[in-house]
Amino acid sequence: MSLRLQAQSLACERDDRWLFQDLDLDIHAGEIVRVEGPNGSGKTTLLKILSGQLADYEGELFWNELPMREARDSFLSNLLYLGHAPGVKAALTPLENLAWYQALAGHGPDEESRYAALEEVGLGGFEDVPAGQLSAGQQRRVALARLLLTPRPLWVLDEPFTAIDRDGVAALEQRLVGHARRGGCVLVTTHHELSPCAELRRIRLGGGGDDVGV
Nearer to another protein (CB atom), residue 38 or residue 151: 151
Binding test (CB under 8 A) with another protein, winner from 66, 105, 163, 194: 105
Binding test (CB under 8 A) with another protein, winner from 175, 187, 189, 212: 175
Cα radius of gyration (the chain): 17
* Binding flag, residue 122, another protein (CB under 8 A): yes
Closest by Cα among 95, 129, 92 to 112:
95
Stretch that binds another protein, among 8-16, 31-39, 82-90, 206-214 (CB under 8 A): 82-90
Contact by Cβ (8 Å): 46, 205: yes
Nearer to another protein (CB atom), residue 67 or residue 183: 183
* Binding flag, residue 83, another protein (CB under 8 A): yes
Separation of first and last alpha carbons in the chain: 26
Binding test (CB under 8 A) with another protein, winner from 14, 17, 69, 182: 182
Q: 10 Å Cβ neighbour count for 137?
A: 14
Geometric angle at alpha carbon 13, from 9 and 78, rounded to 5°:
60
CA distance 77 to 186: 15
Q: Where are the alpha helices (DSSP H) in the chain?
A: 43-50, 68-76, 94-104, 111-120, 136-149, 166-181
Binding test (CB under 8 A) with another protein, winner from 103, 136, 197, 198: 103
The secondary element (H helix, E strand) that includes residue 189 is strand 185-189
* Binding flag, residue 88, another protein (CB under 8 A): yes
Nearer to another protein (CB atom), residue 55 or residue 213: 55
In the complex, least distance from residue 208 CB atom to another protein, rounded to whole angstroms: 21
Closest by Cα among 212, 161, 206, 211 to 186:
161
Applying CB under 8 A, the site for another protein has a residue count of 59
Tell me which residues touch another protein (CB under 8 A).
1-3, 51-56, 64, 73-74, 76-79, 81, 83-92, 96, 99-109, 120-122, 144, 148, 151-153, 167-168, 171-172, 174-175, 177-179, 182-184
